[in-house]
Structure 1
Amino acid sequence: MPIKAVHELFIHELSDTYSAEKQMTRSLPKMAKHATDPELAAAFEAHLEETRGQVARIEELAEAAGLKLKRIKCEGMAGLIEEATSMMDQVEEGPVLDAALIGAAQKAEHYEIASYTSLILMAKKLGLAQAVPLLQATLKEEQATDQKLSVLAEAQQIEQAA
């Protein structure tokens, strides 16, 4: 069924983002397990807890706005996770894998940042005032995680692996 209205698009995109977050709750423990840098592993574990909160926030938003989330799979996030999994299989454990994991995580964060930015704009246009602060809270968390990953990447000693 084609999407014809912004309201329908909002529900679709919120459902897609919900799927993305749920996929991340399954992927982050694997990334933490493969990380050799203890700070990186801890960052993945901390973001897992944050992501669980983001899933709950989307559920809260949908309930408060009277929206029914669709059962769809976020293909974009699935592709990013598949790419990260491939790196975990191909790259030897150590600093190079940690660098690959940081890159994979930042790709996912940037995808989520774009999703939440779009959702906020649509929520404002649709007059869903109660949704905006919830979406903005998650956007800020995603941006902060991206920044933490950048700091970890800067601190990494990947030249050791060369």
Structure 2
Amino acid sequence: MIEIDGIDRQILRLLVQDASQPASAIGRKLGLSQPAAWRRVNRLQEAGVIARKRLVLDKEALGFGVTVFLGVKLAARGRVGVDDFERAVTAIREVQLVEHVLGLFDYRLRVVARDLADFERVLRRRILTLPGVGNVEANVLLSEERLPGPL
């Protein structure tokens, strides 16, 4: 396990805000030289602390105005393999996130749709027809106030 100091934490906070920042910009903000900032970022990547960088798209700008979180409980009788469900649900393009969870539901899905009618279509035709689906509970996202960070 890698030791992370205060400067490493500051670098991670900056990269969470904008992962495309060059080491020179990070160095300027933290009072480090470009090579020192680059070495620290590289060390964090090599240690696996920075697992990957990803692009975050504006769903509304792309026409997806509704986000729904679904709790999915797999049917108890004739239990279909978890692998079958996971393979089928990840093939649905509107399903943005699949989390296998412990609790009332077996899975938590994040689903995006153009509007409620589009979500209903995805739910009825795609999700409720998946192998092993039992109970489903939907929660519509009203607003997202804070994006999670690593620290």
| TM-score under structure 2 length normalisation | 0.28
Q: Identify the structure with the greater strand proportion.
A: 2
Q: Identify the structure with the greater helix proportion.
A: 1
Q: Which has the larger radius of gyration?
A: 2
